[in-house]
C-alpha cells in the first residue's frame, strides 16, 4: 500500500492541519522572551537607541551595563538574585551550594539552573550548560560520598537529574552533527567524556580507600552508571573520529583538528593558571598529580600540532582529544582538593569550580612566567 | 521609532508564528527555536539602530528568511527518520495520534524535498496563512511570480504524496 493512501486529503490541507498542531512550548517562549529582554537591555546601553536622553537611561540600562562587564555565569547569578529580590533572593543565592537532602536543593535544580539554561544562547551553549549541570551532579555525588552521605535515595535523585542533563547533551550533539557543525559536536562530546571519566575515577578512589567507609553498593551502582555513560560518549567520539578519518575533504578535517587544537590550548592555559593560583590552597599530592596531567597534555598538544602541520589531521585530533581528557582530570583533581579533604588534612579556602570562569587579573608576575613556559608547545 | 515595550509585545504576538515558519522550513524543533530567537534579536538590532518599521510582521519574516538561507548553506540533507523524530508530537500515545504523527512527518518530508523557493512560498501560504499579495511584498517579488512558485511546488508535493518521498 502506498504511504499516501493514509492521507485522504490534498497536500495543502494536510500541511495546514499539521501546522495547526505545531506549537511553541511555553518554556521555549519564556526562554526566548528572557533572552530577548537581556539582549535589549544590553544593546540599549551600547547603542543608546532606546535611551536617547539621560532621563531615560534608567536603572535597567545601568544594570545592563553592569551585566556586560561581568562574566556570563555571574550574569546568570545576578539575574537569579534580581528576579527573586524581595521574595526568595536569599534562598536562590544560598541554594547554589545546596546538596540533595537540603531544603534549598529544589531551588538550585528547578530555579537557579533553569535560569542559567535560559540564558545560554544557541544550541551549543545550551548543550554546554547541560554538560556543566551534569558535572555538578557528579560533584555533588563525590562530595556526599566524602561525607559518607551518598545513600541510595539521595543517589537516585542525583542519578535521575544527571541522566536528564546527559540526554539533553546527546540530543544537542546529534543536532550539531545534523547541522554539519562537527567541530562543536566534537568539543561538547570531548568535554563531557573527559569530565565523566575523571569523576568516575574519583568515585573509584573512594571505593578503594578503606578509611572512607562509603556505602559500597551505592557508589558501585553510581560508578556503573557513569561508566555506561562514559562509554556512550566514547562511542560518539569514535564515530566522529572515524568520520574525520574518512572525510573526503581535507579542509573539513583540517578545520575540525584546528578547532580542537584551539580548544585544547585554551583549556591548557586556563587550567595551568588555575593550578598555579591554587598552589597554596591545595595539598602537594593533588598539585603534583594535576601538574603531571597538564604536562602530559602539553606534550600531546605539541605533538598534535606537529602532526597537524604535516597534514595528519585525524591523528592530530586524537592527540588533542586525549589532551583535553588530561586537562579535565587535572581540573577535577584541583576542585576536589579545594572542596574536599580527599588528598590530605590541609585547610583550604573555597574557590571557583571552573577555571574558565575566572577573571585574569591575578595572572601576573611569576604566574605569567609559569604560564608562558606551559604554553611553549 | 518602536520602543522597548512595543517590541516585546511584537515578540508575544509573533514568536509562535515565526517559530512555526522556521520549523516547517528546517524540520527541527531546536533549530527552529534558535532561528526564531535569532530573528527577534536581529530585528531588535535593526529597530534600535533607528530604522523605521512600518510592517513588523514583514520585517520578521524577511529576517527569518535570511537566517534560514544562511542555515541551509551549512546544512546537510535530512533523512525521513530524522524528520519523524522532529515531527510535532500531538502529545498522546493513542493509535490515532500516532497516525497523526506519521502523517505530519510524511507531509514535512514531502515539503522538505521541494526546492527552497517553492518550500518558502508554500510554507508562507499554507503554514503561515499569508495572502499571496503579502508574500509578494515580504519577498519583494511580483504576485504572479509567487503564484507560479505555489503552483509548481504544489504540483511536485502532490506527486511526492502519491509516489512517496525519497528516503
Q: How do residues A124-182 score in pLDDT, each as one tens digit?
A: 888 889 988 988 888 888 788 777 777 777 788 888 888 888 888 988 988 888 887 77
Interface of A with B in 57-116 (CB under 8 A): none
Q: Are A282 and A319 in contact (CB under 8 A)?
A: no
Alpha-carbon torsion, ordered B117, B119, B121, B127, to 10 deg = -160
Mutation target among A32, A124, A126, A173 for the B interface, most CBs of B within 10 A: A32
- Kindly state the DSSP code that residue B75 receives in the 8-state scheme: P
Rounded CA-CA distance A224/A194 in Å is 16
The grid coordinates listed for B13 are 504576538
Share of chain B above pLDDT 90, in %: 39
**Are B30 and A123 in contact (CB < 8 Å)?**
yes
From the list B37, B48, B88, the residue facing A22 with the nearest CB is B88
Q: How far is A111 from chain B (nearest CA, A)?
A: 21
Among A252, A110, A95, A240, which residue's Cα sits nearest to residue A176? A240
Tell me, what's the pLDDT at A191?
Answer: 76
The whole-chain average pLDDT of chain A stands at: 71
pLDDT attached to residue A106:
78
**At residue A377, does pLDDT exceed 50?**
no
Q: How far apart are CA B36 and CA B26, in angstroms?
A: 11
Q: Which residue has the cell 545534523?
A: A178
pLDDT band for A57, please (50, 70, 90 cuts): very low
Rounded Cα distance, A319 and A307, in Å: 9
Q: Return the number of other C-beta atoms located less than 10 Å from residue B141's C-beta.
A: 15
| CB atoms near residue A361 (< 10 Å) | 6
Place of cell 547569578: A77
Integer-rounded Cα Rg, in Å, for chain B is: 17
pLDDT reported for residue B80 = 46
> Rounded CA gap, A360 and A281, in Å?
18
What span, in angstroms and rounded, lies between the C-alpha atoms of A314 and A291?
Answer: 27
Mean pLDDT of A1-10: 47
More confident call, B61 vs A83: B61
Q: Is A77's pLDDT higher than 90?
A: no
Share of chain A above pLDDT 70, in %: 68
B107 with A14: Cβ contact below 8 A? yes
According to DSSP, residue A48 is labeled: -
**In what helix (H) or strand (E) does residue A141 lie, and over which residues does it extend?**
helix A123-146
Query: Using one digit for the tens of pLDDT, what is the confidence trace for B43-100?
Result: 998 888 888 888 999 999 999 999 998 888 766 544 445 544 555 554 444 445 556 6
- The answer to whether the CB atoms of B127 and A10 lie below 8 A apart is no
Question: Taking residues A64-72, what's their average pLDDT?
Answer: 45
Interface test with A, best of B56, B96, B104, B107 (most A CBs within 10 A): B107
Residue B53 CB contacts under 8 Å (≥ 6 apart), including other chains:
B2, B46, B47, B59
Mark which residues 306-345 of A lie under 8 Å from B by CB.
none
Chain B 7-66, residues with CB within 8 Å of chain A CB atoms: 7-8, 11-12, 15-16, 19-20, 23-24, 28, 30-31, 33-34, 36-37, 40-41, 44-45, 47-50
Q: How many CA atoms lie within 13 A of B54 on its CB side?
A: 2
DSSP code string of A248-299: S-HHHHHHHHHHHHHHHHHHHHHHHHHHHHHTTTS-HHHHHHHHHHHHHHHH
To probe the interface with A, which of B3, B4, B72 has the most A CB atoms within 10 Å? B4
- Nearest-Cα distance to chain A for B93, in Å, is 15
Q: Is the pLDDT of residue B166 over 70?
A: no
CA distance B121 to chain A (A): 12
Residue B130 is classified by DSSP as -
pLDDT value at position B75? 64
**Beta carbons of B37 and A6 less than 8 Å apart:** no
Whole-number Å distance between alpha carbons of A259 and A127: 17
| Structural Rg of chain A based on CA atoms | 23
- Where does the pLDDT of residue B122 fall: very low under 50, low under 70, confident under 90, or very high at 90 and above? very high
- The dihedral sign for the CA sequence A18, A20, A21, A25: positive
pLDDT at A78: 54
User: In this predicted model, which residue has the larger pLDDT, A343 or B142?
Assistant: B142
CB-nearest partner of A2 from B4, B33, B162: B162
Measured between CA atoms, the residue of chain B closest to residue A5 is B162
To the nearest 10°, report the CA torsion of B109, B115, B117, B118.
-50
pLDDT at B121 over 70: yes
pLDDT tier, A202 (very low <50, low <70, confident <90, very high otherwise): confident
Report whether A32 contacts B41 (CB < 8 A): no
Chain B contact for A125, CB < 8 A?
no
Considering CB atoms only, which of A3, A15, A121 is closest to B111?
A15
**What is the length of chain A?**
377
User: Could you give the 3-state DSSP secondary structure of residue A24?
Assistant: coil
- Residue A234, all three cell numbers: 566514547
Whether A14 contacts chain B with CB within 8 A: yes
Burial of A246 (0-12, 13-18, 19+ CB in 10 A): exposed
What pLDDT shows up at residue A138? 84
Residue B131's pLDDT band, with cuts at 50, 70 and 90, is very high
Give the C-alpha separation, B1 to A316, whole Å: 53
* Per-residue DSSP letter, A6: G
Identify the DSSP state of B124. Answer: I
C-alpha cell belonging to residue A95? 541554594
Mean of pLDDT values over A316-328: 85
pLDDT at residue A46, rounded to an integer: 38
Cα gap B69→A311, rounded to integer Å: 33
Interface contact flag, A21 B88, Cβ < 8 Å: yes
C-beta of residue A11 within 8 angstroms of C-beta of residue B158: yes
How far apart, in whole angstroms, are the C-alpha atoms of residue B101 and residue B129? 21
Please indicate whether, in this complex, the C-beta atoms of B74 and A181 are within 8 angstroms of each other: yes
Angle at A262 between CA A260 and CA A265, to 5 degrees: 105
| Sole residue written with cell 518521498 | B165
Are B74 and A16 an interchain contact pair (Cβ–Cβ within 8 Å)?
no
pLDDT band at B13 (very low <50, low <70, confident <90, very high): very high
DSSP assignment of A322-364 = HHHHHHHHHHHHHHHHHHS-SS-S-------S-GGGS-STT--
* Residues B88-117, mean pLDDT to the nearest whole number: 68
Report pTM: 0.48
Pick the residue of A17, A21, A184 with the most B CBs within 10 A to test the interface with B by mutation: A21
CA separation for the pair B94, A189 (Å, rounded):
36
Is some CB atom of chain B closer than 8 A to the CB atom of A23? yes
Nearest Cα to B124, choosing from B39, B40, B32, B62?
A: B62
Q: How near does any CA of chain B get to the CA of A214, in Å?
A: 41
Q: Show the cell assigned to B116.
A: 527552497
Nearest one of A320, A322, A344, A321 to A333, comparing CA atoms: A344
Q: Could you give the maximum distance between any two Cα atoms of chain A, in Å?
A: 76
Q: What pLDDT shows up at residue A5?
A: 40
Of A46-50, A262-266, A281-285, the poorest mean pLDDT is in: A46-50
Please say if the pLDDT value at position A355 is more than 50.
no
Chain B residues whose CB is inside 8 A of the A247 CB are none
Q: What is the pLDDT of residues A95-137, one digit of tens each?
A: 677 788 777 787 788 778 888 887 787 888 888 899 889 888 8
Amino acid at each position: 500500500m502506498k504511504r499516501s493512501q493514509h492521507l485522504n486529503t490534498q497536500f495543502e490541507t494536510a500541511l495546514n492541519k499539521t501546522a495547526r498542531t505545531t506549537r511553541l512550548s511555553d518554556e521555549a517562549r519564556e526562554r526566548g522572551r528572557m533572552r530577548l529582554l537581556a539582549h535589549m537591555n544590553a544593546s540599549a546601553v551600547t547603542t543608546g537607541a532606546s535611551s536617547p536622553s539621560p532621563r531615560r537611561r534608567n536603572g535597567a540600562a545601568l544594570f545592563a551595563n553592569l551585566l556586560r562587564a561581568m562574566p556570563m555565569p555571574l550574569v546568570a547569578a545576578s539575574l537569579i538574585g534580581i528576579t527573586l529580590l524581595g521574595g526568595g533572593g536569599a534562598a536562590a543565592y544560598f541554594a547554589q551550594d545546596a546538596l540533595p537532602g537540603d531544603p534549598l536543593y529544589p531551588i538550585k535544580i528547578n530555579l537557579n539552573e533553569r535560569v542559567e539554561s535560559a540564558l545560554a544562547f544557541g544550541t551549543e551553549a545550551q548543550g554546554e550548560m547541560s554538560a556543566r549541570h551534569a558535572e555538578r551532579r557528579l560533584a555533588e555525588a563525590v562530595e556526599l560520598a566524602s561525607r559518607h552521605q551518598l545513600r541510595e535515595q539521595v543517589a537516585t535523585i542525583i542519578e535521575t537529574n544527571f541522566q536528564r542533563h546527559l540526554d539533553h547533551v546527546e540530543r544537542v550533539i546529534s543536532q550539531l552533527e545534523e547541522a554539519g557543525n562537527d567541530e562543536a559536536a566534537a568539543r561538547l562530546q570531548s568535554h563531557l567524556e573527559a569530565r565523566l571519566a575523571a569523576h568516575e575515577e574519583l568515585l573509584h578512589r573512594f571505593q578503594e580507600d578503606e578509611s572512607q567507609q562509603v556505602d559500597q553498593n551505592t557508589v558501585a551502582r553510581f560508578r556503573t552508571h557513569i561508566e555506561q555513560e562514559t562509554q556512550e560518549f566514547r562511542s560518539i567520539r569514535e564515530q566522529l573520529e572515524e568520520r574525520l578519518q574518512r572525510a573526503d575533504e581535507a579542509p573539513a578535517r583540517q578545520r575540525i583538528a584546528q578547532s580542537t587544537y584551539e580548544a585544547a590550548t585554551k583549556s591548557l592555559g586556563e587550567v595551568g593558571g588555575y593550578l598555579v593560583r591554587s598552589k597554596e590552597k591545595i595539598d602537594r599530592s593533588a598539585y603534583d598529580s594535576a601538574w603531571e596531567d597538564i604536562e602530559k597534555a602539553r606534550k600531546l598538544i605539541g605533538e598534535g600540532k606537529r602532526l597537524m602541520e604535516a597534514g595528519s589531521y585525524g591523528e592530530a585530533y586524537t592527540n588533542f582529544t586525549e589532551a583535553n581528557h588530561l586537562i579535565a582530570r587535572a581540573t577535577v583533581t584541583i576542585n576536589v582538593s579545594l572542596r574536599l579533604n580527599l588528598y590530605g588534612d590541609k585547610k583550604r579556602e573555597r574557590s571557583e569550580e571552573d577555571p574558565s570562569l575566572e577573571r585574569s587579573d591575578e595572572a601576573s608576575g611569576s604566574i605569567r612566567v609559569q604560564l608562558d613556559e606551559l604554553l611553549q608547545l | 521609532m518602536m520602543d522597548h515595550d512595543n517590541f516585546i509585545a511584537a515578540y508575544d504576538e509573533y514568536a509562535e508564528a515565526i517559530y512555526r515558519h522556521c520549523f516547517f522550513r528546517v524540520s527541527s524543533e531546536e533549530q527552529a527555536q534558535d532561528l526564531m530567537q535569532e530573528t527577534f534579536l536581529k530585528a531588535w538590532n535593526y529597530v534600535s539602530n533607528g530604522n523605521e518599521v512600518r510592517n513588523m510582521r514583514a520585517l520578521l519574516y524577511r529576517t527569518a528568511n535570511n537566517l534560514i538561507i544562511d542555515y541551509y548553506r551549512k546544512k546537510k540533507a535530512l533523512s525521513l527518520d530524522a524528520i519523524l523524530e522532529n515531527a510535532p508530537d500531538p502529545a498522546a500515545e493513542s493509535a490515532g495520534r500516532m497516525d497523526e504523527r506519521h502523517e505530519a512527518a510524511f507531509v514535512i518530508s514531502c515539503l522538505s524535498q521541494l526546492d527552497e523557493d517553492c518550500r518558502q512560498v508554500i510554507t508562507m501560504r499554507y503554514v503561515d496563512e499569508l495572502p499571496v499579495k503579502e508574500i509578494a511584498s515580504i519577498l519583494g517579488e511580483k504576485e504572479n511570480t509567487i503564484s507560479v512558485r505555489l503552483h509548481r511546488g504544489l504540483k511536485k508535493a502532490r506527486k511526492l504524496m502519491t509516489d512517496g518521498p525519497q528516503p
